[in-house]
Amino acid sequence: MQTPVRISNALPGTTVGVEYSTISPFSFKNKWLLLTHPGGFFGLYTGDGVFIRELPSVIDTSSRPRWDRRNPDQLTYLNGKELCRYCLAEDRHESIYRFAEYASIDDEGEADISLDNNHRVLCGTLPNGQQEVFVFELSTHTKGPVFAQAQPFDGLKITGANEPILSKASGIFVLGPHQRQLTTTNGHACVGRDANGGILLWTNSNENPVTLPSFPNGVVKMRTADGHQTGLISVPWTDAVDITMPESGDACFVSTYGGTEHSGKLYRVKLDGSANTLLLDGINHDVKNYDGQPKAAVSRDGSRIVWSATEPDGVTVNTWMLQLESLPIPTVLPELKVTGSPFPGFSRVPASAFGGKDYIVVFHADQTFEEYVED
């Protein structure tokens, strides 16, 4: 494990920080890194934290830039009614699709591009103020089912099966033909997947009664398919947390913040609930505003992590980076939305779900595989 290093040099009283913990600021293979700059703009850094330049002003925090998962020099962003693409190498902008029916579109600031690199969850605001949530497929330029929202909400995410997840005061919901409620209260959450499929990592501090009493003010892993909960880690009630997770693997990362000497820690937390490791202590003891919250965000391969930290003057915020130990990340198929099979009498299932029945395994050249179980 390396020593954390400060990679930004913010002017006194300003912020160079991390946008949000559930969005990876690193491009594919960690070629580039995006950090927020004063005025709501973005600075482009190398994956090791060397500042290169600011992005064009049209790409700001309200435009929600999201890195392509396969092309390190490409990202998508929002501009008024349009979803656009920016190619860094050519400094070129192009419109992907214009949503003429809406006054504006947004993703509420918490949603990354989908795991299959082909979908973004969005919210469109109609001229009459009505909001609609939908998933847009990038390859075909098509909208999925539209879900009109009558109540306020503060967060959108997308599952491995490309279903919208919506957070509001009454809980967190998966939208779709089989809509389901995952929680009865809101709370910071991060979408990911483990070896068994899609998961939601969620803070249960507002839950009453608590489903897992032994994990008060805890981070809980919840299966998005059925809502089953596994307690991962509890933190003192004086602390709040941010949660971030690589593209796949057996662990997430939890950063804490508050106003006590026990705040400001960074943990690696195993997804099976078996253990957590304190990586750093004292990353940010005294948080006075949103900019100073760590919002720790890990790279998609899990090899490095960045966070925001307030300087001793109490107002200036800079970004720090830690190079993590290189851990093997297993290849995991995306969560399946429907089953389909070319083999009569067999149905496709998520990896490692055959449960002892007769099964067929199909291996691919990229080392991924599919499993089919006997009906």
Quote the pLDDT of residue 155.
Answer: 87
Note the pTM of the prediction, 2 decimals.
0.85
pLDDT at 132 over 60: yes
* 265 neighbors 280 (Cβ within 8 angstroms): yes
How many angstroms separate the CA atoms of 160 and 218, rounded?
A: 24
Beta bridge partners of 233: 219
pLDDT at 331 over 50: no
Quote the pLDDT of residue 364.
Answer: 53
Beta bridge partners of 309: 318
pLDDT at 357 over 70: no
> What is the per-residue pLDDT across 14-33, written as a single tens digit (0 to 9) for each?
999 999 999 999 999 999 99
pLDDT at 337 over 80: no
- Of 165 and 261, more confident: 165
Percent with pLDDT over 70 in the chain = 85
- Of 335 and 198, more confident: 198
pLDDT at 355 over 70: no
pLDDT at 1 over 70: no
- Of 327 and 174, more confident: 174
Instruction: Give the residue-averaged pLDDT of 168-179.
Output: 89
User: pLDDT-derived band of residue 335, with 50, 70 and 90 as boundaries?
Assistant: very low
Q: What is the mean pLDDT of the chain?
A: 88
> What is the per-residue pLDDT across 275-317, written as a single tens digit (0 to 9) for each?
999 999 989 867 888 999 999 999 999 999 999 999 988 899 9
User: pLDDT-derived band of residue 343, with 50, 70 and 90 as boundaries?
Assistant: low
How many angstroms separate the CA atoms of 170 and 152, rounded?
A: 10
The residue ranges of every structural domain in the chain are 5-338, 339-375
> What is the per-residue pLDDT across 86-130, written as a single tens digit (0 to 9) for each?
999 999 999 999 999 999 999 999 999 999 999 999 999 999 999
Classified by CATH at the fold level, domain 5-338 comes out as Methylamine Dehydrogenase; Chain H (2.130.10)
> What is the per-residue pLDDT across 225-261, written as a single tens digit (0 to 9) for each?
888 999 999 999 989 999 999 998 899 999 999 877 6
CA distances 282 to 48, 49, 102, 256, Å, are 22, 21, 45, 10
